[in-house]
């Protein structure tokens, strides 16, 4: 990440924080960020349908920071999902800007990216630039066909698994621990 490290030290008022509120018992909250018309609500619906838990919340936003009003009533957000539309560079830029309002704690396995799979003729963004963005933030990237309901369910199930871990509902495991299996983070000597 190219941002100045000192910037992290001063706590910004509009920054999204993972631990500033107490968790609600057995509750998981996911925030989906992406431009209008990208299919956030369809995805959220698929997630809620695949979930067995009754206390799952999916919230959506077009960009960050979240508005200041009602921020007190908002629950703690366990995971942030960014959606990128491969057809529009505006969505890429918006995600890039929104990323600046995320506290660094989220980057320890509490965010992930979804890029839409579109026919090559209409693809506007380079695949490399999307994967580069995700690699820079050390997080997962899923490709999703926005027109296929089956594909959406597949992605929704994966997101649920990640959410379970990042909301702390799996005993003995944290998002950071799962990240430690990465080759570059693997400290265990051979």
For another protein, give the closer residue by CB, 100 or 131.
131
Closest distance of CB 100 from another protein, Å: 25
Closest distance of CB 34 from another protein, Å: 18
The C-alpha atoms of residue 70 and residue 68 are separated, in whole angstroms, by: 6
The C-alpha atoms of residue 182 and residue 76 are separated, in whole angstroms, by: 27
Q: Is it true that the peptide bond before 65 is cis, omega within 30 degrees of 0?
A: yes
Contact residues: another protein, CB under 8 A: 117, 120, 127, 131, 140, 142-144, 151, 154-155, 157-159, 161-162, 165, 170-173, 177-178, 180-183, 186, 188, 190
For another protein, give the closer residue by CB, 66 or 115.
115
If you write DSSP's letter for every residue of 116-162 in order, what string do you get?
A: E---TTT--S-HHHHHHHHHHTT-EEEEE-TT-HHHHHHHHHHHHHH
For another protein, give the closer residue by CB, 99 or 155.
155
For another protein, give the closer residue by CB, 20 or 131.
131
């Amino acid at each position: 990440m190219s941002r100045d490290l000192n910037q992290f030290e001063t706590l910004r008022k509009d920054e999204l924080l993972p631990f500033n509120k107490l968790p609600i018992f057995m509750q998981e909250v996911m925030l989906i960020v992406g431009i209008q018309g990208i299919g956030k609500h369809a995805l959220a619906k698929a997630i809620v349908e695949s979930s067995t838990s009754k206390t799952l919340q999916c919230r959506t936003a077009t960009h960050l920071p979240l508005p200041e009003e009602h921020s007190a009533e908002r629950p703690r957000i366990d995971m942030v999902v960014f959606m990128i539309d491969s057809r529009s560079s505006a969505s890429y830029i918006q995600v890039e800007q929104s990323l600046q309002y995320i506290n660094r704690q989220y980057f320890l396995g509490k965010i992930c990216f979804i890029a839409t799979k579109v026919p090559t003729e209409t693809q506007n963004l380079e695949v490399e630039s999307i994967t580069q963005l995700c690699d820079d933030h050390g997080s997962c990237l899923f490709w999703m066909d926005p027109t296929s309901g089956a594909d959406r369910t597949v992605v929704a199930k994966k997101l649920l698994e990640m959410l379970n871990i990042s909301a702390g509902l799996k005993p003995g495991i944290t998002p950071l621990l799962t990240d430690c299996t990465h080759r570059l983070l693997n400290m265990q000597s051979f």
